[in-house]
Structure 1
């Protein structure tokens, strides 16, 4: 049987960075250009959001700290206090700034996740003052115990971070290239090594964006501009297993959720690009996909 696709939250400008919090059985995600953090509770079908003063690229709960979250605000990593209900946050505290600012360009935070130790991994892209992307100006950082470490550079747009279940492999996307890379990963030190190309999309497929992994260690990849999700074998390079088609063109990211981690939540955007206007309800929507026959693995909250 084909998977069931349901629209659960609509009319976002650029939905991104879904994160499933097991403790609260809630999905957190952002609408970047609306400067909004969002919470969706499937059991009650309740959607709440709050607005910040800057574009927000991700939101991840802080482990063991009620109502505290790590967020990306333009080029700043910050901690906020939010009850998940109110339309405003109670507190915003900057923790660190990514570098890369110059007279003509600056870095902007993009996709981010925490590893099994609670260490934050945050990628960036280089942008001109006009907002256009600059090639090879992005980086990948980790942040733990107040220290920001740079691991990778020469990235166009850092995206799609995920790890193998034994935490020995790290997968990372550079969207415009458009390539999924694999690295050896040392979880004790956070060191990345032995870079390899794992999967390459053709331009006609769209561009790889967000990524997650299932319990059988298959990669699930959102394809921006491609109306689809790809299921890719993480152990066999260049091996596409299946595709799920979506009505949304700008598929941005995805995360496993639900009590059994068998619900796939997928964010999308409705940005006007090259004069093409994309409208709700298909575009700019959070989708829930069930019946995939797969289950995810838990996402980790951050420790700071």
Structure 2
């Protein structure tokens, strides 16, 4: 499977339906040639040696209203005065640079543990079809298999790359699905694919032999029993998180992002709290077993250790 780079001019703008438009539209695209592809990491990603980020910025933007990256250094240093979700920088040479770095590591007998990615969706549907940067990285990783590769996405576009992912024996697909209720999805994360579409991707990946985890992170309003039943039949493992433990600040960051107000505005005032996932966790453990269910940072890192 060969992945190329589409011709999109720097400074071009994508309109709401994904076509290129004139400057002043919805999404400004910038190009950057980078000197490095892998970034040494730690903290929440303590189970990994490096992160891999094919794009700076994310076209899902404010649709993920709780996203902590909007307050991160990525936004501060690369936004050029634009709001989160209004810009993306494509690292147009990342595939070549990644190959050089992995070749050097291989010559030293080192195999990295890679997380892709903590600050963007590598398969965002308005960028990846045009640039194919994540696909190029997967091709390279197939030639230099890492000790671990975790792909974090909410995009069904990842399905296009199942062949490449399945060829990497240490690859894990982490697919974000925050609720079982598509009416909740339409109100709170309207730019994201439907719940059923993402569940279908998880089932298809599992059927292909790809180690697939569903990330209920953060948990949005849901029916615990129904949601657990849907998840149990779609993946090998599940990670659950909430707005308190998941934001790294006991809910303070979520409050700054206006999460309680957003939930209340759409009729879910009781869903901002540290105990909102208790019933879901119990239902998942009952169906899947404790070893296949993780909670927040500790559960995520335990799953990474168990997988590798």
Q: Same fold (TM over 0.5)?
A: no
Whose radius of gyration is greater, 1 or 2? 2
- Structure number with the higher helix fraction is 2
- Structure number with the higher strand fraction is 1
The answer to which structure, 1 or 2, has the higher relative contact order (CA under 8 A, 6+ apart) is 1
